[in-house]
Chain A
Amino acid sequence: MRRRLALCLVILVIAFFCGAAIFAGRIARFSPEDQELCAGLSGPGHLHWLGQDKLGRDVFSRMLYGARVSLLVGVSVVLISALVGFMVGALAGALGGMVDQIIMRVIDLLMAFPGILLAIALVAVLGPGLGNVILALSVLGWVGYARLVRAQVLVEREKAYFESARALGAGKLRLIFRHLAPNVLGPVLVQASFGLAGAILSEASLSFLGLGSQRLPSFGSLLSHGMNFLRAAPHLTIFPGLAVFLLVVSFNLLGDFLGDYLRVEEKGNLR
């Protein structure tokens, strides 16, 4: 019962942020760029619910648009990474032999590199911007999925349904997409939930360091702005940070719940 309540809460938080991101233009009472210089650094009030920044811009409106950036980067990185990871992992697992060996050595090499370091280095050379952040985070993002999918494929291809499909003359592509894909989707979804949390955190980190989008407000850039006014306007730091924290915890917990659900399902199937 307690777990179900926690799951409902998690889904509610995620739905809230998704709604905020999608309908930012309708919900926001002010444009994120509207300045009111004489009211700079004002605290939360009835008109500006979460206060105003140094230039008098509405923090709540900027956070709504920040949620859009965070989720856009998170979802894009997860989609690209999962798709590339699935293709590579499925190929390695299904074909085996030399192809598998080469792919696994490349994966080992990439896994030896600290992810955020490579992302920072790539954004440094390509230049800041939303597209480059997505690219930089996806370059290593697919590796985890590929490893996971390969391991799943190695298990699945020993099962009777796979053997039967092969015996009936199904081609390699049909085997991978028609028979293997639906059966390895569960663990990939769990990984995607954790991946979303990681991508949101990494995007916020890059924006905090000034390497994210330069045009759009994001949680990281809002926090970075707030760092200059910790004494005078702590609300500039507290609210955007809380938003990132809630998003990350929610996606991490969703991953936990999905993982538990799949384990229970698997046990049920075994029985």
Chain B
Amino acid sequence: MRSYLVRRLLWFFPVLLGVSLLVFFFIHLIPGDPVMVMLGESARPAQVEALRARLHLDQPIHVQLMLFFSDLVRGKMVSIYFARPVGEVIAPRVLATLQLAFFSMLAAVLIALPLGIVSALKKNSWVDFSGRVFSLLGVSVPNFWLGPLLIIFFALKLGWLPVSGRGGLSHLVLPSLTLGMAMAGLLSRMSRASMLEVLSAPYLRSGRARGLSEWSVILRHALRNALIPILTVIGLQFGALLSGAFITETIFAWPGIGRLLINAIYTRDFPLVQACVLVIAASYLTVNLLVDLCYAWVDARVRLGRER
């Protein structure tokens, strides 16, 4: 177990370094002079030189790399558009995205888990068929279509919920459903499959033979074992929600980091683009690392298998 943890932790840092290097080189992929691209053709020479110096683009590449990491660690990267350190701009946006991702996950779990379990218990019935259709639709429906459809129906036609923005709980319903739908589709498919596998296990028959009630067999014995792979999928999907909220945030004008990144691209604020990409990728990596570690802790087969 310990060697697996150490290996997994050690692998995390080179990957993070690789991602940071990739982000550093982004600015050098810009065709032409990146400073002119950021400031536009009408910029004065003094402005151009000032920005070039601020981004260290007047230095040799290896010095630029050192200064990039130094600025990153000391929080000295400055957004061109906001004229403030990127950390200050990003921090409140990360909280908004975390909130949206959490409620999306909650919505997905509340919809998909009961659906998957009932589908497995009533295999080949109309409930199962509906569950499987829901799962296929959930996985395939693009969120840039689902979001507007939900707005048209629930906000514009019925007037039950607000169209966009961040406020109370009512503001969270439509964006959470939009972002969580793909996860719900995947999760209901996964929980159905996992539950079906567990339901055919001999220990459930033994439980029933000992006189346990059907509910006790299902909830205490089957569900507990079926939950292990489901929890992994939930964890991994949470990382995907964090890193894939751009569109939902854009549709619902949700002030998260995804929308900030898209706006930074529109305003050609490349230091902010770099910082947003790095933060999103690092949070995705961290969530995946935590899920892997939790999985190894929860499931003895993984733990022992890795040690062998």
A residues bordering B, Cβ < 8 Å? 108-109, 112-114, 116-118, 120-122, 124-127, 197, 201, 204-205, 208-211, 220, 223-224, 226-227, 230-231, 234, 237-238, 241-242, 244-245, 248-249, 252-253
Check A114–B15 contact: CB distance below 8 A.
no
Question: Which residues of B lie under 8 Å from residue A227 when comparing CB positions?
Answer: 148, 251
The proximity string for B residues 121-156 relative to A, scoring 1 for CB distances below 8 Å and 0 otherwise, is 000000000000000110111101100110110001
**Is the pair A230, B156 in contact by a Cβ cutoff of 8 Å?**
yes
CA distance A152 to B168 in the complex (A): 51
Task: Give the chain B neighbours of A237 by CB distance below 8 A.
Answer: 145, 148-149, 152
CB distance from B143 to the nearest CB of A (A): 8
Q: For the complex, what is the distance from the CA of A194 to the CA of B131, rounded to whole Å?
A: 21
B18 at the interface (CB under 8 A from A): yes
Majority SS at the chain B contact face: helix
Q: How far is the CA of A205 from the CA of B221 in the complex (A)?
A: 42
Binding site for A on B (CB under 8 A): 11, 14-15, 18-19, 22-23, 26-27, 29-31, 136-137, 139-142, 144-145, 148-149, 151-152, 156, 239-240, 243-244, 246-247, 250-251, 261-262, 265-266, 270, 273, 277, 280-281, 284-285, 288
Q: Specify which chain B residues have a CB less than 8 angstroms from the CB of A121 in the assembled complex.
A: 23, 26, 273, 277
Return chain A residues, CB-CB under 8 Å to B11.
Answer: 108
A258 to chain B, nearest CB (A): 16
Q: Chain A contacts of B142 at CB under 8 A? A: 201, 204-205, 241, 244-245, 248
The one of B141, B151, B273 in contact with A245, judged by C-beta atoms closer than 8 angstroms, is: B141
What is the bound-complex CA distance between A109 and B19, given in angstroms?
8
Q: How far apart are A17's CB and chain B's nearest CB, in angstroms? A: 15
Return the 3 tightest CB-CB contacts between A and B, nearest first: A241-B145, A114-B243, A124-B265
Contacting pair B247 A209 (CB below 8 A): yes
Are the C-beta atoms of B15 and A108 separated by less than 8 Å? Answer: yes
A120 to B30, alpha carbons, bound, how many Å?
13
- 9 new A-B contacts at CB < 8 Å, known A224-B144, A245-B141: A114-B243, A117-B281, A125-B29, A125-B270, A127-B31, A208-B247, A230-B152, A231-B156, A241-B144
Once A126-B31, A209-B262 are accepted as A-B contacts, the answer to whether A114 and B145 lie under 8 Å apart by CB is no
Assess the B247–A205 pair: CB atoms within 8 A.
Answer: yes
Q: Which B residues touch A117, using CB under 8 A?
A: 243-244, 277, 280-281, 284
Selected from A124, A209, A241, the residue in CB contact (under 8 A) with B148 is A241
Give the shortest distance, in Å, between A242 (CB) and chain B (any CB): 8
Is A114's CB under 8 angstroms from B26's CB? no
Asked if residues A114 and B144 are in contact (CB atoms below 8 Å), the reply is no
**Distance in angstroms between the alpha carbons of A146 and B247 in the assembled complex:** 29
Q: Cα distance A109–B265 when bound, in Å? A: 25
In the assembled complex, the Cα of A139 lies from the Cα of B266 at a distance in Å of 22
User: With a CB–CB cut-off of 8 A, which chain A residues contact B145?
Assistant: 223, 237, 241-242, 244-245
Query: In the complex where A126-B29, A209-B262, A227-B148 touch, is A120 in contact with B141 (Cβ < 8 A)?
Result: no
Which residue of the partner chain, among B22, B136, B280, B285, contacts A249 with CB atoms under 8 Å? Answer: B136
Report Cα–Cα, A209/B247, bound state, in Å: 7
C-alpha gap A146/B165 in the complex (Å): 42
Contact: B148 with A125, CB < 8 Å?
A: no
Q: Is the CB of A205 within 8 A of B144?
A: yes
Which chain B residue shows the least CB distance to A127?
A: B31
Q: Which residue of B lies closest to A208 (CB)?
A: B144
Task: Name the distance in Å between A253's Cβ and chain B's nearest Cβ.
Answer: 8
For A224, list chain B residues within 8 Å (CB). Answer: 144
Sample 30 A-B pairs with CB under 8 A, ordered by A number.
Answer: A108-B15, A109-B15, A109-B18, A112-B281, A112-B288, A113-B19, A114-B240, A114-B244, A114-B284, A117-B280, A117-B281, A120-B261, A120-B265, A121-B273, A125-B29, A125-B270, A125-B273, A209-B262, A223-B148, A230-B152, A230-B156, A241-B145, A241-B148, A244-B145, A245-B141, A245-B142, A245-B145, A248-B140, A252-B136, A252-B139
Report A-chain residues with C-beta under 8 Å of the C-beta of B137.
Answer: 249
Chain B residue with Cβ nearest A201: B142
Contacts of B265 in A (CB 8 A): 120, 124, 211
- A residues within 8 A CB of B273? 121, 124-125
Closest to A200 in B: B142
- Of the listed residues A112, A201, A248, A252, the one surrounded by the most CB atoms of chain B closer than 10 A to its CB is A112
Which residue of A is nearest B34, CB measured? A125
A114 to B31 alpha-carbon distance, docked (Å): 24
**Closest Cβ–Cβ distance, residue A155 to chain B (whole Å):** 20
Give Cα distance in the complex from A109 to B151, angstroms: 38
A120 to B284, CA, bound (A): 16
Measured CB to CB, the closest approach of chain B to A252, in angstroms, equals: 6
Q: Which residues of A contact B139 (CB under 8 A)?
A: 252
- The reply to whether A113 and B149 form a contact with Cβ atoms under 8 Å apart is no
For B251, give the chain A residue with the smallest CB separation: A227
For the complex, give the distance between the alpha carbons of A252 and B141 in Å. Answer: 11
B293 CB to nearest A CB, Å: 15
With contacts A209-B262, A210-B266, A241-B149 taken as known, whether A204 is within 8 angstroms of B144 at the C-beta atoms is yes
How far does the alpha carbon of A119 sit from the alpha carbon of B215 in the complex, in Å?
48
- Distance in angstroms from B60 CB to nearest chain A CB is 21
Tell me the bound Cα distance from A122 to B281 in angstroms.
Answer: 14
With a cutoff of 8 Å between Cβ atoms, the chain A residues found around residue B251 in the complex are: 227
Assembly CA distance A253 to B265 (angstroms): 35
Q: How far is the CA of A237 from the CA of B148 in the complex (A)?
A: 7
